[in-house]
C-alpha cells in the first residue's frame, strides 16, 4: 500500500511516503513561522519525484487533523482532501496527540502528549500502553500501541496534573514550555519528542485504514478544541 502522510499540525512540516512498512522517503523541517502553505506542495512534489512515483499511484493519503495550529491544520486538511477528491484516493485523519503518544517507547508510566495551545493552555490527553488489535498475516502491524484513557482535552497544566494517578511521560512542545510544572509529576522528554513525526503518522494512518476504512473527505475536518476561534461572532 503506497501511502502519503501529511503533517502540518505544529511548526514542524513533514511528509512521508511508505510502501506498507517500508519507508520510501520523507521530508521534514521545523519552521519558526507558518510557511506550510508555501512549502507543502513542493515537499510532496519532491518526495514523489525522489521515489519515482506519481500522485496517481497513491493508495492512501493520511493527514494529521489536530489539535494544533489553526492555520497549519487548514492547510494540511485542504491539501489532503484535494488529493483525495481529484485522484479518488482514500483518505484518513489521525490526531496529533495520537501521533506524539505512539512515538514513546513501551512504558509502564502514563503517556501525556502536550501541545502548546497558547493562553496558558495545553492540547492533551492521557494514554496507557496496551495491545493493538490483531491483524491478518501479511497486514501492516503496529504491534503494541498506546491507548487513549481520556478524551482530547484543552486545559491548563494543573488541570491535567489533577487527573494523573501515577507518574507520567510528557512529550510535545508544551512539555518544554511548562517543564517546571510537569516535571514534578513525571519525566519530560527531550526535543526529539516535541514534534509529531510524519513517519509515525503514516504508520498509524495505515493501521487505522485497515481497521476502520477511509474517512469521508467531505466531512473530514480538523480537531479544534477552541470552538469560538472557528465561528463568526455576532456583533
Across the range 116-139, mean pLDDT stands at 74
pLDDT at site 232: 42
Tell me the pLDDT band of 35, cut-offs 50, 70 and 90: low
Percentage of the chain exceeding pLDDT 90: 77
End-to-end CA distance of the chain: 50
| Cell numbers at 107, concatenated | 512504558
At 170-216, the pLDDT tens digits run 999 999 999 999 999 999 998 888 999 999 999 999 999 999 999 99
Longest dimension (CA), the chain: 59
pLDDT at site 38: 83
pLDDT at site 138: 40
pLDDT at site 149: 93
pLDDT at site 145: 78
Output Rg (C-alpha) for the chain, integer angstroms: 17
Q: Which residue, 224, 222, 225, 206, is CA-closest to 214? A: 206
Kindly state the helix (H) or strand (E) to which residue 160 belongs, with its residue range: helix 157-161
pLDDT at site 7: 97
In sequence order, the 6+-apart residues with CB closer than 8 A to the CB of 51 are 17, 24, 25
Neighbour tally for 84: CB within 10 Å: 23
| Higher-confidence position of 149 and 35 | 149
In sequence order, the 6+-apart residues with CB closer than 8 A to the CB of 49 are none
Residue with cell 491539501: 79
| Cell numbers at 193, concatenated | 519528542
Across the range 100-127, mean pLDDT stands at 93
Inform me whether the pLDDT recorded for 40 exceeds 70. yes
**What mean pLDDT, rounded, does the chain reach?**
89
Q: Domains in the chain, ordered, with CATH?
A: 2-95+195-230 (3.30.420.40), 97-193 (3.30.420.200)
pLDDT at site 171: 96
pLDDT at site 226: 85
pLDDT at site 228: 56
pLDDT at site 144: 59
pLDDT at site 135: 40
Tell me the pLDDT band of 136, cut-offs 50, 70 and 90: very low
Residues across the chain = 235
DSSP 163: T
Amino acid at each position: 500500500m503506497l501511502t502519503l502522510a501529511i503533517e502540518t499540525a505544529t511548526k514542524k512540516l513533514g511528509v512521508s511516503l511508505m510502501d506498507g512498512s517500508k519507508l520510501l522517503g520523507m521530508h521534514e523541517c521545523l519552521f519558526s513561522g507558518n510557511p506550510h502553505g508555501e512549502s507543502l506542495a513542493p515537499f510532496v512534489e519532491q518526495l514523489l519525484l525522489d521515489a519515482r512515483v506519481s500522485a496517481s499511484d497513491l493508495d492512501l493519503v493520511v493527514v494529521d487533523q489536530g489539535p494544533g495550529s489553526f492555520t497549519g491544520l487548514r492547510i494540511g486538511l485542504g491539501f489532503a482532501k484535494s488529493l483525495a477528491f481529484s485522484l479518488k484516493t482514500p483518505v484518513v485523519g489521525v490526531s496529533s496527540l495520537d501521533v506524539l503518544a505512539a512515538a514513546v517507547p513501551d512504558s509502564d508510566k502514563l503517556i501525556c502528549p502536550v501541545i502548546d495551545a497558547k493562553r496558558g493552555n495545553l492540547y492533551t490527553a492521557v494514554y496507557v500502553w496496551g495491545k493493538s488489535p490483531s491483524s491478518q498475516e501479511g497486514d501492516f502491524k503496529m504491534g503494541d500501541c498506546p491507548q487513549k484513557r481520556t478524551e482530547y482535552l484543552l486545559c491548563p497544566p494543573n488541570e491535567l496534573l489533577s487527573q494523573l494517578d501515577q507518574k507520567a511521560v510528557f512529550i510535545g512542545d508544551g512539555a518544554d514550555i511548562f517543564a517546571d510544572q510537569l516535571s514534578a509529576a513525571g519525566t519530560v522528554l527531550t526535543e526529539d519528542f516535541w514534534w509529531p513525526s510524519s513517519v509515525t503518522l503514516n504508520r498509524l494512518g495505515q493501521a487505522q485504514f485497515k481497521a476502520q476504512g477511509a474517512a469521508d473527505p467531505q466531512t473530514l475536518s480538523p480537531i479544534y478544541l477552541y470552538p469560538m476561534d472557528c465561528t463568526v461572532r455576532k456583533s
